[in-house]
Amino acid sequence: MSDLVFQLSNVSYQYGAGLEAVRNLSLSVYSGESVALLGANGCGKSTLIKLMNGLLVPTEGVIKAFGEPLHETTLRAKQAEVTFRRRVGFVFQNADAQLFSPTVREELAFAPLQIGISVPEVKQRVQDIAELLRVAHLLERSPFQLSGGEKRKICLGCVLTMNPDVLLLDEPTTGLDPRSQEELISLLHQLIGAGKTLVTATHDIALAARITTRCIVMSESHEIARQGETSETLADIPFLRSVNLIA
């Protein structure tokens, strides 16, 4: 059995005055897996993936990352946070929520510089990732002047310059044209082949079928409805209808 990356035990989260986003979730993710968090819009997928990234803290339950509890106290410790951020990269659903630098070059360099990677190494990483993503010609452009697909690539590039072990992706193909979707899927296959762990929150069952081997399906009552192999789950048409993934 591969090493555990994430382990969630009876995790719940509420927004504001009792607005329940996820309820009593227990799941595990192992090193080298590509896992889909599947569910209809509003079921809590984005909340769950933010909990796994430490952006939100559970109202109830325990989350462990790499065997260690993931909570506010842990992430307030500078070295613990740096170690976690080196290992786990998160790509937001809304690209504009992730981009803020004047140029694409500065955007790609920002995160590794913050954790103390040397300037020469950061420059090389930026160049390598820009070439991998075919965005080297955009390095001096403002990220806010790019197309939706280009912004997506830059957001992924910001994560890849950290060279994390784990990538958390929130609806990664949203707003992409067909060519950009194919380019992204090809890149994700490369990352999976390189041994990266991927957790992808999506309602797109076609995407899940192409890039994941296991899925965790959430119901519209914000609970886990099913966990299992992606191929078997997607072959169960009555189940997919019951959780509003197909009409």
Q: What is the pLDDT along the chain (247 residues), one digit of tens a residue?
A: 469 999 999 999 998 877 899 999 999 999 999 999 999 999 999 999 999 999 999 999 999 999 988 877 776 666 777 788 889 999 988 888 888 999 999 999 998 998 888 999 999 999 999 998 889 999 999 999 998 888 888 999 999 999 999 999 999 988 788 888 898 899 999 999 999 999 999 999 999 999 999 999 999 999 999 999 999 999 999 999 999 999 8
Kindly state whether residue 175 falls inside one of the protein's structural domains.
yes
Paired strand residues for 62: 9
d(CA 72, CA 61): 14
Residue 56 is predicted with a pLDDT of: 92
CA distances from 108 to 82, 92, 122, 123, 180 (A): 17, 15, 9, 9, 19
> What one-letter code names the amino acid at 201?
A
- Cα 188 from chain centroid? 12
Kindly state whether residue 203 falls inside one of the protein's structural domains.
yes
Residue 97 is predicted with a pLDDT of: 82
Kindly state whether residue 247 falls inside one of the protein's structural domains.
no
Q: Which of 65, 6, 68, 71 is nearest to 37 (CA)?
A: 6
Phi-psi region of 41 (alpha: psi -120 to 50; beta: other; left: phi over 0): beta
CATH of the domain at 158: 3.40.50.300
d(CA 221, CA 10): 15
Kindly state whether residue 71 falls inside one of the protein's structural domains.
no
Residue 204 CB contacts under 8 Å (≥ 6 apart), including other chains: 171, 173
d(CA 61, CA 21): 14
Residue 77 is predicted with a pLDDT of: 65
Q: Which two tokens stand for residue 101?
A: 């630098």
Range of the domain at 232: 32-46+87-242
d(CA 88, CA 53): 7
Number of domains in the chain: 1
d(CA 196, CA 211): 12
Long-range contacts of 69-72 (CB under 8 A, 24+ apart): none
DSSP string, 77-99: SHHHHHHHHHHEEEE-SSGGGT-
Kindly state whether residue 204 falls inside one of the protein's structural domains.
yes
Residue 125 is predicted with a pLDDT of: 95
Kindly state whether residue 1 falls inside one of the protein's structural domains.
no
Kindly state whether residue 185 falls inside one of the protein's structural domains.
yes
Kindly state whether residue 62 falls inside one of the protein's structural domains.
no
Sort strands 224-229 and 60-65 into parallel, antiparallel or unpaired.
unpaired
In our burial notation (b when 16+ CB lie closer than 10 A, e otherwise), range 185-209 reads bebbeebbeeebbbbbbbbbbebbe
d(CA 82, CA 121): 17
